[in-house]
Structure 1
Amino acid sequence: MEFQTKDGHDVVIKEATKEYAQYMMDFYNIVGGETDFLSFGGNEFKRDIEEYRAFIESTRLEQNSIILLATINGDIIGIASINSSQKDRTKHVGTLGIVISKRFTGQGLGRILMEQLIEWAASNGVTNKISLVTREDNVFAIELYEKLGFETEGLILKDTLIHGVYYNTLVMGLFV
């Protein structure tokens, strides 16, 4: 899929392949330092490259999991995914994760990626619920999630510690 950001950049959205593993790890390590809303900080996304390649490839083979990359001229500016268990009792629930480069927040990319994931989940034949977690004070993200139909399911108290401050985690879900 291709679309244009509000500021005129041409973005290509495609499924991740193992060839992107190092670029994805590099992206995560950069954006981890751009915001405190992620579960990791700058340079904290540490994975063995071969294991990460294998993870990406196994995700591609699962009917109920997907990783999408948003790129401009081949450079990753966003990653969005739904990862699901392969266990019979829980494979109907996918966990959504989304990370966008600070430079491209507010450009409509988050909404486009979320809509792509929701559409994919609704049509994959397995997923009927998408779950996500976010910090309780991540108001812009929560506003988008609610606009897309996600509802609050719970609150995990003092789940994250950043620079000596505890933050609560909001659990949200969407039935597709």
Structure 2
Amino acid sequence: MEIDQLDFSSYRIRTATDQDAYYLSELRLQIDGETENLDREKGEAYIDEEGFRSLIEKDRASGNSLFLVAEANGQLVAFSRCAGSDLKRTLHQTEFGIAVVKAFWGQGIGQNLLTESIRWADEVGICKISLRVLETNIKAIKLYKKYDFEVEGILKKDKLLSDGNYYNTVLMGRINENT
């Protein structure tokens, strides 16, 4: 299934294309510098244009991966990815990740990317969506719980943030009982 385009009041969500690769590289770099909610600091584990093009192509060919982008005023402002595995024992699941430019927080973009990812997963028969979220990201945890994600575990002292303190990562999962 491919999402052509979903229009919201000030942005649209669509499946990532090869033409997005350069902008995704720049967007990820920007977002990594705006928040400590993600795993990376700005510039770490950098993915260049070719790297994103490869991810997009791989996800397009896969039955258990989905790469979405959100676009506002002709610019990418967010992306999400459901990254499935090629291993037979884990083909039934995918790992969800999301990144939104700070200027667009609070506009429902993350929620709509999540909603579309869940709809896609249910439609293609994905049994489980899993994710990791920093314990301090209370809004995200509430959102995930609203969409039937449950806490499956805690990775203690998993992240060292700029304040010099260690923080836990919450492991969450959503099971599609209809698969």
Normalising by the residue count of structure 2, what TM-score does the alignment of the two structures yield? Answer: 0.90
Deviations 1:66-113 (A, max 9, x none): 110000122111101100001110011110001111111111111111
Q: How many angstroms does 1:45 deviate by?
A: 4.5
Aligned to 2:104: 104
Aligned pairs (5 A) from 1:99-138: 99-125=99-125, 127-138=126-137
Establish whether residue 74 from structure 1 lines up as the match of residue 74 from structure 2: yes
Establish whether residue 142 from structure 1 lines up as the match of residue 141 from structure 2: yes
Q: How many angstroms does 1:137 deviate by?
A: 1.4
The alignment yields a C-alpha RMSD, in angstroms, of 1.2
Aligned to 1:165: 165
How far apart, CA to CA, are the structure 2 residues paired with 1:151 and 1:87?
A: 24
Establish whether residue 154 from structure 1 lines up as the match of residue 153 from structure 2: yes
Partner of 1:111, secondary structure, is helix
Which residue identity is paired with 1:59? D
Aligned to 2:8: 3
Q: How many residues align?
A: 170
How far apart, CA to CA, are the structure 1 residues paired with 2:117 and 2:52?
A: 21
Q: How many angstroms does 1:49 deviate by?
A: 3.0
Q: How many angstroms does 1:65 deviate by?
A: 0.2
Aligned to 1:17: 17
Which residue identity is paired with 2:136? D
Deviations 1:102-142 (A, max 9, x none): 111111111111110000000113x1100000011110110
Which residue identity is paired with 1:148? Y
How far apart, CA to CA, are the structure 2 residues paired with 1:12 and 1:120?
A: 16
How far apart, CA to CA, are the structure 1 residues paired with 2:130 and 2:22?
A: 27
Q: How many angstroms does 1:158 deviate by?
A: 1.1
How far apart, CA to CA, are the structure 1 residues paired with 2:175 and 2:75?
A: 33
How far apart, CA to CA, are the structure 2 residues paired with 1:107 and 1:50?
A: 30
Establish whether residue 175 from structure 1 lines up as the match of residue 137 from structure 2: no
- Can you give the 5+ residue segments of structure 2 that lack an aligned partner in the other structure? 1-5
Aligned to 1:31: 31
Which residue identity is paired with 1:67? F
How far apart, CA to CA, are the structure 1 residues paired with 2:109 and 2:99?
A: 10
Aligned to 1:63: 63
Q: How many angstroms does 1:42 deviate by?
A: 2.1
- Can you give the 5+ residue segments of structure 1 that lack an aligned partner in the other structure? none
Normalising by the residue count of structure 1, what TM-score does the alignment of the two structures yield? Answer: 0.92
Deviations 1:145-166 (A, max 9, x none): 1111110000001111122321
